[in-house]
Amino acid sequence: MSVIRISQIQKKLRQENLDLVVVSHLDHVRYLTGFTGSAGLLMIGVKSADFLTDFRYSDQAAKQVRGAKVHIIKGDPIAALKEIKKYTEKNVRIGFNGEYLTVAARERMEQVLPTALMISADNLFTELGWVKDRDELNNISEAVRISDLAFERILPLIQPGVPEKDIAAELEYQMIMLGSEKRSFETIVASGYRSAMPHGVASDKKIRKGDFVTFDFGATYNGYVSDITRTVVVGKATTRQKKIYGIVLKAQKAGIKKVKAGTMACKVDEACRNIITKAGYGKQFGHGTGHGIGYYVHVGPRVSSVSGDKLMPNNVITIEPGIYISGWGGVRIEDDVVVTRTGGRVLNKAPKNLLEL
């Protein structure tokens, strides 16, 4: 699979009249080669590829890296490029992704390879990993299963007096025990007034009776992630809480119903947003409806009102509308959904009815 993925980049190199591209983002490196270590640089040329890492990863790279020649180097991998003849040729055209290659790293490359031409090539990475193969879908499905089960296991812990951080720690522990490599992003546990914060990562705040508690978290399995959000109430829900929750749930289901290969992603956002806006809470839904997931937690396609992306078979996207009322609380509900030619297939099994704990 790595060979196929690298060959796809090589095809794009020819189309863009580039000789090489530097891949520095470790998630991209893992996707393209299989390497799971924390240090390395991948250089893909039109006919070959080189992976540079240090002694700490010599055995690991030998076992994991596919589709690229492994070079064990001393010190900075960028500095080591000058030892590989083909990179020192005059006017060699090297593409880079400015979103991930730092200015400092690019300047070092220009110093090490003074006759090379550094050319922005962000488009080589556009749609990289958007469409999943069967193994990728299986890995994401397992990451989702782990998340769902971990959420079920921590429900008894959600009680008045328990700090948000304690619940987040237990949630992450359960995911690890169920087979997750690591959390897919910083776990959000936001209760009471903090549930109005879309990215309210777990704090020292203690849960109180009557609080909304929003959980946004994910597992990682074989390098692939899940991303789930659920909101519960501690105790009996008030009439207002039931109303807000019901609006968000209706919007989320409408978004899922709109998912289908060939549909513009902005139309999925529109399906969710229209319901929330008509209910009078449009200004309280200030973020996009979702995003793609895969070998990391934010890949394409983007599901928002300004997205120009079209859904393709075997995209995996999140559908996560929300309403956030400052000083009171908020609700978000999120599932991971596989795009098919006939509709959207929801991977999550965790309940979406309002849980009163």
pTM of structure? 0.93
Is beta strand 93-96 parallel, antiparallel or unpaired with respect to 20-23? Answer: parallel
Backbone angles phi, psi at 273, to 5 degrees: -65, -35
> Averaged over 117-135, what is the pLDDT?
93
If DSSP states are collapsed to H, E and C, what string results for 232-251? EECCCCCHHHHHHHHHHHHH
**Position 3 confidence tier, pLDDT thresholds 50, 70, 90:** confident
Check if the beta carbon of residue 348 is closer than 8 Å to that of residue 336.
yes
Would you say residue 2 has pLDDT above 80?
no
> Averaged over 18-36, what is the pLDDT?
95
Would you say residue 75 has pLDDT above 90?
no
Structure tokens at 205: 């705040």
Separation of alpha carbons 338 and 34, rounded Å: 23
Exposed/middle/buried for 343, CB within 10 Å: 0-12, 13-18, 19+?
middle
Alpha helices in the chain (DSSP H): 2-15, 26-33, 58-64, 77-80, 103-112, 134-154, 164-177, 239-258, 265-278
- Domains of the chain, each with CATH number or no CATH: 2-125 (3.40.350.10), 134-346 (3.90.230.10)
Would you say residue 32 has pLDDT above 90?
yes
Structure tokens at 230: 């659920």
Residues 158-210 pLDDT 10s: 999 999 999 999 999 999 999 999 999 999 999 999 999 999 999 999 999 99
